[in-house]
Every structure is written in structure tokens, then in C-alpha cells.
Amino acid sequence: MPDQPDPSTAEPDQPETDPPPKPDPEPDTEPADLKKLQATLAAERRARVAAEREAAKLRDEHATDADKALAAARDEGRREALGQISARMVDAEVRAAAAGRLADPADAARLLDVATFVDDDTGEIDRAGIGAAIDELIEAKPYLKAGEPARNGHPPPAAPQGTRPGPAVEGDGDAFLRRVARGN
């Protein structure tokens, strides 16, 4: 069979692959170009918000009473659900922000009005406001501030509580008192 190539001398088939794609070159944006793009983006966002408001206004004008009642019920339900969820989230954010800054982070959640840190319409949490409020709380009540750890990085040991077992306390108290009274 002279027509077939010898498998031992044939070159292995190499799979056909495309060369790897070249990475995108760094964009050549000048600061002026970047500012122009950012301004254009901001203008587009403002236009979109205005268009959404106009669409909502037109929807409200042409809505039936049933549609208006349904929209009001949905809005009320959304606000109620957002209120319940956001209260828990804000409480967790306050505790997290107070961790390491207050001896007991739960004090911040108890002493601050956490409802003021959430936007009722969007549900967004004001993290900067939380930090500022904790700073004000520490200024007003410095005894709440977390203490410095000991030099080795561990807090100092707690003072012993109660009595310790020992020979003077073994057995019942009456037997001990009788021994003391007898002089033993």
C-alpha cells in the first residue's frame, strides 16, 4: 500500500485554531473628552428621568378609577414591605458601623433613630449619615466608646465573680460554723 502515508513518519494533525484575540488598546481619552462624555451621560440621564415622569403623568391622566386604586394599593404595599425590610437592614448597618467604635454596637441601634437613615421612596440607606450620627453619639456620650485593648491585643481579663471553692467552703455552711465555734 504505497498510497497511504506511513503513520510513524507523518506529522501529527494540528487542530486549526484562530490566533488569540489582541487585547484592546488603552483608550486614548483626554481629560476633556472624559468630562465631555460624563456631561453627555448626565444629560441623557436627566432626559430619561424627565421622559419617565412625563409618561407617568400621562398614564395617571388617562387611568380609570380602578387603575388608580390598584396603583395606590401597589404603592402602599411596596412602601410597607420596604419599611419592614429596611428597618432590619438599617439596624444591621448601624450595628456594623458601630462595631469597633462603641463598646456595645447595639447601643447605637437603641440610641439612634434608625428610621432617619433610610429614604422612604427608594429604600436606600444613608451610610454616611450613620457614620456621622455615631461620631456625634461618641462626642455626646464618650463613655460608650470602645476601650483600647491591652498591649498584647487581648482585652483585660474580667474581674472574678462570686466565691471560689476551697477548704473553707467545702461541705455545708453549718458544719463549718460549728468547727469555727469549737476552735477547730
Length of the chain: 184
Query: Does residue 28 sit within a domain?
Result: no
> For residue 19, what pLDDT is reported?
65
Query: Does residue 118 sit within a domain?
Result: yes
> For residue 96, what pLDDT is reported?
92
* pTM, full prediction: 0.42
Query: Does residue 4 sit within a domain?
Result: no
The counts of H helices and E strands in the chain are: 5, 0
DSSP string, 81-145: HHHHHHHHHHHHHHHHHHBTTBSSHHHHHHHS-GGGGB-TTT--B-HHHHHHHHHHHHHH-GGGB
Query: Does residue 104 sit within a domain?
Result: yes
CB 112 within 8 A of CB 122: no
**Count of CB atoms situated within 10 Å of the CB of 96:** 13
Query: Does residue 169 sit within a domain?
Result: no
Q: What is the Cα–Cα distance from 165 to 60, expressed in whole angstroms? A: 78
Query: Does residue 137 sit within a domain?
Result: yes
Query: Does residue 103 sit within a domain?
Result: yes
> For residue 134, what pLDDT is reported?
93
**How many structural domains is the chain composed of?**
1
Give the pLDDT of the chain (184 residues) as one tens digit per residue: 455 555 555 555 555 566 666 655 555 657 788 888 999 999 999 999 999 999 988 888 888 888 888 888 998 888 888 777 778 888 899 999 999 899 999 999 899 988 888 877 677 888 899 999 999 999 999 888 887 654 565 665 666 666 655 555 556 677 777 888 888 7
Query: Does residue 134 sit within a domain?
Result: yes
Domain region containing 124: 81-146
